[in-house]
Amino acid sequence: MGLLVIACLALTVGSTSAAAAAHASSASDCWYKGSGIPAGSGIPPWGFHASQSFPAGGSGFAYGWGDVNLNTNWISGKICEDVHGGDRPSNTIEVSVGPQIGYHSHIAMMWGYPGNLIKTSLNVIASTDPRCKVGTSGRVIMYASYNGVRSDSMQFLFDAGCVDQDHLYHGPQVDAQVPPL
């Protein structure tokens, strides 16, 4: 399967200086080009990789990983997304995930199947899309089906300026690990 890197979302630690923001605008920290879920550092970690075709002939690749503690509704990590083709130039974004989980469930139903679900916030920390500025907020809905079903999904929803990065990745080409309670 050919992998396209869509946008890169990364965990930030501490405050962001002007120099760090300038470095982040290049989205240079989006490095994972493998297949499978990127290695996370948490127990249990969350992670995913996904490719998808979009309307108007575009396509993308996204991946992310990080730590999670469902007992305290805390999550961290990064997500990267590269989008190519269609009516827009190729671009990459990188976002930090969390830190607060807005909602999580081990008995969620999506796409007609039970699974684990996490909803949390995003913050753009790097972007090659001139309309999607560093600091823009958004949210992600992470869903991992279970019982042997492959109907996982990741949906990105951003505030004004980054709406071109709103994408749904869904289907057997999405491999997600969203931990249970």
Question: Using one digit for the tens of pLDDT, what is the confidence trace for 170-179?
Answer: 998 998 888 8
Residue 33 forms part of a structural domain: yes
Would 76 be classed as within a structural domain?
Answer: yes
Q: How many domains does the chain have?
A: 1
Residue 33 is predicted with a pLDDT of 59
Q: Rounded to whole angstroms, how far apart are CA atoms 177 and 142?
A: 9
Residue 89: its pLDDT value, please? 78
Cβ contact 176:168 at 8 Å: no
The answer to whether residue 2 sits within a structural domain is no
> Is residue 156 assigned to a domain?
yes
Residues 6+ apart with CB under 8 A from 17: none
Please give the pLDDT value at position 100.
97
- Its domain, for residue 116, covers 7-177
Instruction: Kindly state whether residue 1 falls inside one of the protein's structural domains.
Output: no
Question: Residue 140: phi, psi to the nearest 5?
Answer: -130, 145
Beta bridge partners of 118: 104, 142
The verdict on residue 73 lying in a domain is yes
CA distance 138 to 130: 17
The pLDDT tens digits along the chain (181 residues) read 232 222 332 222 232 333 333 334 454 567 655 566 666 555 568 989 898 988 777 888 999 989 999 999 999 999 999 988 777 778 899 999 999 999 999 999 999 999 999 999 999 999 999 999 999 999 999 999 998 888 999 999 999 989 888 999 999 899 888 887 5
